[in-house]
Amino acid sequence: DVGAYFAIVTNIAGSATSSNAFLTIAEPPTNGDFFVSPSGNDSNPGTIDLPFATIPKAISVANAGNIIYVRGGAHAYSSTIRFTNSGTAGAMIQLLAYPGEHPEIDFSTQPYGSSNRGFLFPTNGSYWHIKGLEIHNAGVVVADGADSDWRAVPQRLACRVVSRVHCLALSR
């Protein structure tokens, strides 16, 4: 609707109210190759109307250049999600939050142990772009020394740098 809008932004430092805000309403994306939703089913074809239930199912069918949208809500996992297929330098596989939604990937039921990770990118899992997922309670490897190929993004996500993975954690 036409009218005046304002936005309130809040974080740990406090809040601020804008004097002007612009609202853009767009059609939902249909360019995704696969969709994942907490209310989905892995027997579905992974479309926007019939999404998969799990990220591992979407990973298993994704190919270079594909986009996987993860719908908002709680996505609970008790085991490591392994990225075992690859995109290419010119056609990364993208794992993205569905625009305007906040998927929360929760590994709180994953047993604690050195072999447990939230996301794991083995050497055959390269050229991924991950953006907008909020990841909780995932095991993280932080190795010391010059030969370390793991980096932690402040307790949100671990990325294996040598696997050419772009990881962008959602900040609130």
List Cβ neighbours of 19 (8 Å cut-off, separation of 6 or more): 6
Q: Which of 22-31, 43-52, 75-84, 162-171 has the highest mean pLDDT?
A: 43-52
* Mean pLDDT, range 133-156, rounded to an integer: 49
Q: Which residue from 109, 113, 111, 105 is spatially nearest to 59, judged by alpha carbons?
A: 105
pLDDT in tens, 4-25: 666 666 666 666 666 665 555 5
CB 44 within 8 A of CB 50: yes
Give the H or E element holding residue 167: strand 165-168
Specify burial of residue 38 (Cβ count, 10 A radius: 0-12, 13-18, 19+): middle
Beta strands (DSSP E) in 7-137 are 8-11, 14-17, 34-36, 67-70, 73-76, 81-82, 93-97, 103-106, 119-120, 128-131, 134-136
Question: Is 46 a residue whose pLDDT tops 60?
Answer: yes
Q: Please classify residue 72 by burial: count the beta carbons closer than 10 Å to its beta carbon, then call 0-12 exposed, 13-18 middle and 19+ buried.
A: middle
In the prediction, which pLDDT does 161 show?
A: 36
Q: What is the pLDDT of residues 49-86, one digit of tens each?
A: 999 999 999 999 999 999 999 999 999 998 888 888 88
DSSP secondary structure code for residue 162 in this structure: G
Mean pLDDT for 136-157 is 44
Contacts of 84 (CB under 8 A, 6+ apart): 59, 122, 124, 125
pLDDT of res. 7: 64
The residue with tokens 């625009």 is 99
What whole-number distance in Å separates Cα of residue 61 and Cα of residue 149? Answer: 27
Task: List the one residue out of 41, 29, 104 whose CA is nearest residue 67.
Answer: 29
